[in-house]
A = this chain, B = another copy of it.
Amino acid sequence: MVLDIKPNSIFNLQSIHQSVSVRFNYEILFTNNLFNLKNSTLAQVITTDGEKKPKKVVAVIDAGLLQYWPELPKQLAAYTKFYAEILTLAVKPMIVPGGEAAKNDRTLLEQIHKLIEAAGLCRHSYLLAVGGGAVLDLVGYAAATAHRGIRLIRIPTTVLAQNDSGIGVKNGINAFGKKNFLGTFAPPYAVINDSAFLTTLSDRDWLSGIAEAVKVALIKDARFFDFIHSHTAALVSRDMDAMQQLIYRCAQLHLEHIANSGDPFEMGSSRPLDFGHWAAHRLEHLTNYSLRHGEAVAIGIALDSTYSYLLGLLDWSNCQRILNTLSALGFTLYVPELAERSSPLEDSRCLFRGLTEFREHLGGELTLTLLQNIGQGIEVHEVELSLYKKAISLLQDVENRQTLLTAS
């Protein structure tokens, strides 16, 4: 008996082409007071898996959040008790430091893995990540790599995490001094955005998350930029309705991009929505993370908008409008780290090394998003460093009021 396998040359048998298609479905839910016993959102998310109950749940909570919500672990315990037929808290929640510290300490990853193992979680169990974007990134990475993937429910508690980092398909931690050097593409099981958590954010955290909304509006949706522009005062005065709408639309635009880019795991050359991000990542590093991600993104947006203007892509009036809006939202548009080591490239603190790191992280050719209009991004593959230096000077003048911007 012989199978029908024919060699096609001296070296080769015919090759087998494998094509694997994977579909990931998840809901982004918007709620208020998630752990109120009358709020069945979380229980419903777990019920809809249609499997045997109760399901094991382990929670990891951002320490920064507990300052304002000290009762959270108790509330969670009461909640799981109330919905005991649906979910069981397998162990006491683990508390991890918030902010970039969560991503810089490799032992935290190991501790979460240990917790998953000790609690006997399986791929059909749930890991709840409650906190800001950095904590979600850390917990997401742990969830994606234990048993090759525990179900992750993200509960983002900051504006930034609710409208951007917490709703997408990425996770990661920092390593070798490089942001997100380790991580995977792994969609969550569900995301639950609870507006109650936004009420206790510091003004700085409330505002800084708006930068990602400005970013996505500028490259995708002029109407959304108009919304932000006309709601600047409301947003600054912490109007929750305006903020909810901003988060919703920003999330929607990010999700649409991920679903429709044709390459959600960025294996080829399609890009994430990273306008303004090459400088932002670099500035976070150069300022030792004293800048919030959103604050750095605002500067990155200001820089790349100004560069787009100097390159002749964007009108000065539109560039002014962008810089004005960012200023009105309370963002600083210039920090000394932009200029003080803007050359030579060999200098380990040179801003422009961010371009190389950006290319290396994403792979392939350097691709920057610039603006040709408000609401309209354009990709370029070359940069003129001299023009970038001019853009930096211009931003410095704007910040020092040496260049006056027309009100608009």
**Binary contact readout A110-123 vs B (1 if CB under 8 angstroms, 0 otherwise):** 00011001001011
Question: CB of A401 within 8 A of chain B?
Answer: no
- A185 contacts chain B at the CB level, 8 A cutoff: yes
Please give the distance in Å from A255's CB to the nearest CB on chain B. 5
The CA-CA distance from A26 to B11 in the complex, in Å, is 19
- A259 CB within 8 Å of chain B: yes
A252 touches B181 (CB 8 A): no
CB neighbors of B among A124-182 (8 A): 124-125, 144-149, 167, 169-170, 172, 175-176, 178, 180-182
With beta carbons under 8 angstroms apart, the residue of B18, B120, B259, B359 that contacts A27 is B18
Instruction: Tell me the A246-277 residues at the B interface (CB within 8 Å).
Output: 248-249, 251-252, 255, 258-259, 264-267, 269
> In the assembly, what is the distance between CA of A187 and CA of B18, in Å?
10
How far, in angstroms, from A269 to B124 measured CA to CA in the complex?
A: 9
Question: What CA separation (Å) do A147 and B173 show in the bound complex?
Answer: 10
Main secondary structure of the interface of A (DSSP, over half): mixed
Among the stretches A298-306, A315-323, A327-335, A361-369, the one at the interface with B is: A361-369
Give bound CA distance, A33 to B223, whole Å: 60
Contact A117 B175 (CB under 8 A): yes
Residue interface bits A68-108, CB-to-B below 8 A is 1, else 0: 00000000000000000000000000000000000000000
Check: A338 CB closer than 8 A to any chain B CB. no
A380 touches B (CB below 8 Å):
no
A307 to chain B, nearest CB (A): 23
Pick the residue among B23, B113, B182 that contacts A146 (CB under 8 A): B182
Select the stretch in A1-9, A59-67, A283-291, A388-396 that faces chain B.
A1-9
Smallest distance from the beta carbon of A296 to chain B beta carbons, Å?
A: 20
A interface bracket (residues with beta carbon within 8 Å of B) = 35 or more
In the complex the two chains form, is B5's CB within 8 Å of A245's CB? Answer: yes
Tell me if B147 and A145 are in contact (CB < 8 A): no
Taking CB as reference atom, which chain B residue is nearest A182? Answer: B145
A149→B23 contact, CB < 8 A? no
Q: Are B20 and A23 in touch, CB under 8 angstroms?
A: yes
Q: Tell whether A31 is near chain B: CB-to-CB under 8 Å.
A: yes
Cβ 8 A contact of A147, one of B19, B21, B227, B363: B363
Q: How far is the CA of A187 from the CA of B15 in the complex (A)?
A: 16
Task: Tell me the nearest residue of chain B to A2, going by C-beta.
Answer: B245
With CB as the reference atom, state the residue of chain B lying closest to A33.
B11
Binary contact track A335-358/B, C-beta < 8 Å → 1, others 0: 000000000000000000000000
Whether A22 lies near B21 (C-beta < 8 A) is: yes
The answer to whether A226 has its CB under 8 Å from any CB of chain B is yes
The residue that A149 contacts in the complex, of B33, B176, B185, with Cβ under 8 A, is B185
Cβ contacts A234-249/B at 8 Å (1 or 0 each): 0000000000110011
Complex: A255 Cα to B255 Cα, angstroms: 31
In the complex, are the beta carbons of A12 and B24 less than 8 A apart?
no
Residues of B contacting A269 with CB < 8 Å? 51
Q: How far is the CA of A101 from the CA of B317 in the complex (A)?
A: 64
A16 in contact (CB, < 8 A): yes
User: In the assembled complex, how far is the CB of residue A335 from the closest CB belonging to chain B, in whole angstroms?
Assistant: 27
Give A267 to B147 CA distance when docked, in angstroms.
11
A41 adjacent to B16 (CB under 8 Å): no
- Within 8 Å by CB of A30, from B3, B13, B244, lies B13
A183 is an interface residue with CB less than 8 A from chain B: yes
CB pair B17 A27 closer than 8 Å? yes
State whether B364 touches A123 (Cβ < 8 A): yes
Given known contacts A19-B23, A20-B259, A149-B184, what 14 new A-B pairs fall within 8 Å (CB)? Answer: A1-B226, A12-B31, A13-B244, A16-B28, A16-B255, A18-B259, A19-B25, A52-B364, A122-B362, A147-B363, A148-B172, A148-B180, A149-B185, A184-B186
